[in-house]
Structure 1
Amino acid sequence: MTWQPAPGEVLQIRWPIEFATGVSRLVEGRRSFRDTDRRDIEAELQADEAWPARPEFAVLDASEQREQRAVNGMLRWVPAVVGAIVNLGGPSGVGGGREPHGPRESQDPENEVEDFPVMWAERGALARNVPWELDPDRVPRRAGVALLATDLAVTDRSVYVVGYGPKSPDEAEVLWSTPRSTITHAEVMPCSGAHPDLRLTFTDGSWIRLNAKATSQAKLLVNAVNGASRVISEADLTDGQRAQVTETAKRFKVDAGLPRVFTRLPSGLVQAELRRSSHRTGQSVSLCMTNDGSPAAPHPDDM
């Protein structure tokens, strides 16, 4: 049976997420779980919350961090030197000496460069209640394929983590939920990999860090949690917007019987998602419109 929120709740967005992963040199490929004294709380999670074990990630001590920084400092010169050699032949040289794109400069180096917590919580804090299934290192695998996937679902009242087999997203079950009132703030964390992470901070100061593997969806999730965007009904559309939706649906042969989702973005633009398949992850046509129905590009803070 397709998962739906409780009666009376309006689903704002649902999208695959998992705990984020470090990308800076000292924490690349790692994630940690800390209390506010930066102690590792793996053992407590396993004892208190029955989390499965996984390899422990210890913070490098001061001398190890100094040594690693020295090595990294030397390595940073390598692409520039190679680029200079390549460019000796002039501006037409192949490669141009460009360094590969990396994460943006960290505004929180303690938690992104020197360590990489995806949970920051004292014993009993709200963040400790999130499910272990968010951690890809703990999810069982068969032939290298994860046997469980997780989505973050945001309604006008609550935030859910739902889990499902990777081939059956419609047969999801709730692994965790919390009222939106328990989350004080959601934010995009740009010091990430190819796509920005998002951090959810709870009323007691604890927080978790997640990745949605899509830049636009990370912003949409953050906007939904913060209440900056909201799903509206088709009756809330202007005449011009309804006409644009009808014309777009006809052009792309969208089944009129499938659900359509309309979201008012922070800028005031309306995004329409017209599904072309009954499957949740099936193809869809997305359209962003002004009040008169004219197509428009989303603003930077929208998605």
Structure 2
Amino acid sequence: MSNTVALRAPHMTTWQPEPGETLITRDALSFATGLATEVSGMRWFRDTERNDIQHELPGWPEGPTFTRRTKAASRSRKAGKFGGGLLLVLTLGVIESLAGSGSTGTASKKGSPQEPENEVEDFPVIWGEPGTLARTLPWQLDPSRRPRTDRTHAVVTDHRLLIIGLLDDEQDPHDEVLWETDRAHIATVERMKFCEYETDVKVVFTDGSWCRLAGWNANCAHDFSRAATNPLKLIPLHELTPGQKETLASFIKDKESHGDPWVVRRPSGNYLIELLRTDQIDPSFGISTYFQFMGPNGEDVTYQPGDL
């Protein structure tokens, strides 16, 4: 197992960055799941012609095969859920036709789909031609394939994006590197609004392939998308002003962490300091952080929208 060091006992291991590499975030992410009624609870793996490619992905075990619900089936499902009969089915049909959407009830609560072709008509979580990067992602990201005791975390550093596999056991952080790529291969990272609890993220690679992931909660998705977006402009600590260095020293004093702090300038002009709590890795969500804002001379500043 690569990139691991022993902690507390020989059988307990946790991933660590290479010398000279800065760990930015570690968050629990998996392949996303459809929200719209037609694709609720489903996901697919597609080429650019929308062919199912899950049987072409090397080393992948068998998984469930999903069939998108038709509008009629969706209406019947809604009717059955609320205990109605033909009248409710017909009423839902009228509402649906007036709204012009195949997922009216969901859309009214979660907003309109950004990509109806990928969020209502279909729900790909891997998209790419043969030989593209998205097709190399590990099967353990799929909650339908991995054991219930397993989790996957996305680790972002200033050099790489990695997928880590681990057990759902805080007392036994046994990490395994499942996949990694250089940051240079990430083209864009986008938060997807049409999802449950604001958890979904779309990662597009420079070869045009992409994947759709979901964080354990909105904070996981937020931290991951902010950290994985290029370019990541970390400020070398030796370039901080004397006042900022003093604030940084005060900030990290007495905080329990085995990681290094990092500083980045935000669009508002404020400076964000973060220190990962690497002494505590929670299988459910990853690693939480200590953070603080400061000004150009290390002074206290007021939080501005977009600082986080």
TM-score category, normalised to shorter length: 0.7 to 0.9
Counterparts in 2 of 1:101 and 1:58: CA distance versus 1, 3 Å: closer
User: Which deviations, in whole Å up to 9, do the C-alpha atoms of 1:143-176 show, x marking residues without a partner?
Assistant: xxxx221111122222111111222575322100
Counterpart Cα distance in 1 of 2:278 and 2:158:
25
Matching residue of 1:88: none
The structural deviation recorded for 1:118 is 0.5
Unaligned runs of 5+ in 2: 6-13, 77-88, 96-105
- Are positions 1:299 and 2:308 aligned together? no
* C-alpha RMSD of the superposition: 3.3
Give the partner amino acid of 1:294.
D
Matching residue of 1:96: none
The structural deviation recorded for 1:232 is 4.0
Matching residue of 1:130: 137
- Are positions 1:286 and 2:291 aligned together? yes
Counterparts in 2 of 1:266 and 1:209: CA distance versus 1, 3 Å: farther
What are the equivalent positions in structure 2 for 1:65-80 lying under 5 Å apart? 65=71, 68=74, 74=92
SS in 2 for 1:221: helix
Unaligned runs of 5+ in 1: 78-98, 142-146
User: Which deviations, in whole Å up to 9, do the C-alpha atoms of 1:274-300 show, x marking residues without a partner?
Assistant: 466722347653323333431432533
Counterpart Cα distance in 2 of 1:7 and 1:203:
27
Matching residue of 2:120: 113
User: Which deviations, in whole Å up to 9, do the C-alpha atoms of 1:37-74 show, x marking residues without a partner?
Assistant: 111222222xxx121112111234xxx23663695972
SS in 2 for 1:17: strand
* TM-score between both structures, scaled by the size of structure 2: 0.74
Residue 31 of structure 1 contacts residue 57 of structure 1 at CA under 8 Å; is this kept in 2?
A: yes
Matching residue of 1:59: 68
1:199 to 192, 198, 202: 202
Counterpart Cα distance in 1 of 2:91 and 2:122:
18
- Are positions 1:262 and 2:262 aligned together? yes
Counterpart Cα distance in 2 of 1:14 and 1:192:
21
Residue 199 of structure 2 contacts residue 220 of structure 2 at CA under 8 Å; is this kept in 1?
A: no
* TM-score between both structures, scaled by the size of structure 1: 0.75
Matching residue of 2:85: none
Counterpart Cα distance in 2 of 1:69 and 1:233:
57
Misfit runs of 4+, over 6 Å: none
SS in 1 for 2:228: helix
Give the partner amino acid of 2:21.
E
